[in-house]
Structure 1
């Protein structure tokens, strides 16, 4: 076993969390910046219609990310615990299965979406005036589906063996390249939203190649030796069972986006969809660093749970929750104090600024609860507690948010869309807290060694 993996069981929790979480935090921060910069260039290079087109196409991108997260996080959870238990061969088998699952699923999704692309865009809530623009963007994104899913899934695998720096560098390389190519393609070559899509595909391809070189270099604890061109049904199902909550959480994001876009089309029109596109990018930027903290915590939890060092697991979880909550409070303060300044980064249109300011403040009104929710879900995934993680993943977006999105606009119009987000956050936080207090002691008295 490489030294980077052994440290997970012996190094001090504080320094270990810093060593794993800071690179993940930086990587996710840079990825968040990419999403922000991408939207800025589309807004100024194409206009609010371009931002609306990106928002309409977002569900398909979320499905691709959801598949990558399911296989990557599910595989990473088992790999961390296998390395902690000294089962190197099993860790390699899981690694090989994840590669196959990622490749086959991304190709399948791309083909199906290409076949039904026009009706899908209509289902996603696209007004007629931006249908063609959305199709142009989405068609190019699908060409890079395999690169996107491979890079995202393998980043989780790299973190599972304790090598957060390589995962961070992958995200930075992709994000920086994307930010460089965006203005060249969108404004320099006047490609519009197609330029944004092409920049994304190229950046993701480079990230995927970078990770492949890492695994072939011998620096990884995991090995491609003995790689077989076949799927193991039992292993694949186990990977998917653990990673399924991540799939549900991100897929739920697609369902939420579709529901929001439909309600916005009914009660606000294309401008409202563009406003949501901007507000959602800012909200995602807030969440990404918290995801970085959770990603840094998960290998520690998984490895030490596998080696039965439960005191280290508890210390890692507590530290992760404290840091994530502090980040949530900081983000909430910035959004509530400077909402109009944040929206002005994306647009100089007065109506867009006015509507966006109001939407942003309301959407993130309960942001201080977000950190706890994310860490709680990540904890149960790292422990292999698929059922509990599944419930937590469903709670905010499917069980709470979608019904609120369908009901509240009937009484409050456009404002009802924005009200739905903080109400869902408060309900989801309450349920997470209840689940954690009920299962914590029992879970560590009866560890389910998977």
Structure 2
């Protein structure tokens, strides 16, 4: 049965297959995003607007460590998808075993280092003034749960690579629902404040970890590894690292972006400006869930068919994914443009934040319709194992365009310059990605 699920990636009609893969991914991302969104609403209303800013300080540090698991998962899953497509089962097993060993070593070590340097990291990411105390409470507990989150991210990618999107969806829903229930109990009922928010999130990570562990041990997975598969294989580690580095570089840039944005906005407008960015950041995670779902659904389809040398199906999957993602991105764009004010009222009653956030949000989302091409284009190169172009295209938006723009534009336009950096970076990176994707299709996928 497990083998038939994997083979469906190479046989089922692409449009139907993409929907079957993308809908569970979208639902999972939606629930996870709603979790982050509602968690922010709870914190803003039950603890205060400054608490939203405090969480915004902690997340990039915690998520960078967790992104080690995601990077190992995405890099290894690309290998697994192509190995299953080519009938190389033993390589898939060795890859999964190496993923587990690498994730265990790196994430626990990084979390321990993060706890040692707590007092240095929080201020560096903008946790100053009234934000520092709340951020420190949240940070210490969250980092204890980050290794569990890293394993969840890694395992989720592997589950999707096997062609099991419903199990991957469940793995995203469980911690989200658990977090919201625990938020209500620990923050609202027991009045534990930031400590309650932190433990609610950490406990939800552990629940997700236990579910993924059950999936791989209960017979649902095609990957039945033995202890021998856990031994380090230099060639596999090198391949995982080269592909996973793309994801890690992306998250590193996200963390650097948070660092810059929190500090720049704190200097321009204090805690309120950091809170505005936190709200917009949550909406970026939430509103783009259908586009990200299409991207996640596209990855195993492209990887499997590339490994099986079914290049017409790879081209079809690219075109279909871009079409679906663009349509969904336009719907997201329209919703943000029309309902920005109503969205902000959900988060806080702070009058300054309510006044300034809607226009900032509209500017940030202005180029949303073109983001789909950039996401699918970069994902293609990662799915087919072409690490160098995947890495460069990942760096394009935030590394080559956004960070330089956010360092320059605020000097001339203040806070507005910060928000303008988002759509300009989106447009420029989409142009670059479109060029390289079109060249790749003409050179390597047009024949056969």
The answer (yes or no) to whether the contact 1:8–1:304 under 8 Å persists in 2 is yes
Q: State the match for 1:105 in structure 2.
A: 106
1:20-59 matched pairs, under 5 angstroms: 20-59=21-60
**Alpha-carbon displacement from aligned partner over 1:111-168 (angstroms, at most 9, x marks no partner):** 1111111111111112222112111101101111111000011100000010000000
- Is the aligned partner of 1:344 residue 2:350? no
- Other structure's SS at 2:169 match: helix
Q: Aligned-pair distance for 1:225? A: 2.7
- Other structure's SS at 2:347 match: coil
Q: State the match for 2:279 in structure 1.
A: 278
Q: Aligned-pair distance for 1:102? A: 1.4
**Alpha-carbon displacement from aligned partner over 1:404-423 (angstroms, at most 9, x marks no partner):** 11111111111111111111
Q: State the match for 1:180 in structure 2.
A: 181
Cα separation, 1, equivalents of 2:233 and 2:201: 32
- Other structure's SS at 1:2 match: helix
**Alpha-carbon displacement from aligned partner over 1:312-359 (angstroms, at most 9, x marks no partner):** 111111111111111111111111111010111111222211111122
Cα separation, 2, equivalents of 1:428 and 1:169: 33
Cα separation, 2, equivalents of 1:227 and 1:181: 39
Q: Aligned-pair distance for 1:263? A: 0.7
The answer (yes or no) to whether the contact 2:409–2:418 under 8 Å persists in 1 is yes
Q: State the match for 2:237 in structure 1.
A: 236
Q: State the match for 1:256 in structure 2.
A: 257
Q: State the match for 2:301 in structure 1.
A: 300
Q: State the match for 2:407 in structure 1.
A: 406
Unaligned runs of 5+ residues in structure 1 are none
- Other structure's SS at 2:225 match: coil
The answer (yes or no) to whether the contact 1:64–1:148 under 8 Å persists in 2 is no
Q: Aligned-pair distance for 1:288? A: 2.9
TM-score by length of 1: 0.97
Q: Aligned-pair distance for 1:228? A: 4.6
Q: Aligned-pair distance for 1:54? A: 0.7
Equivalences, count: 447
TM-score by length of 2: 0.97
The answer (yes or no) to whether the contact 1:62–1:251 under 8 Å persists in 2 is no
- Other structure's SS at 1:345 match: helix
The answer (yes or no) to whether the contact 1:400–1:428 under 8 Å persists in 2 is yes
- Other structure's SS at 2:288 match: helix
1:361-372 matched pairs, under 5 angstroms: 361-372=362-373
Q: State the match for 1:325 in structure 2.
A: 326
Q: State the match for 2:213 in structure 1.
A: 212
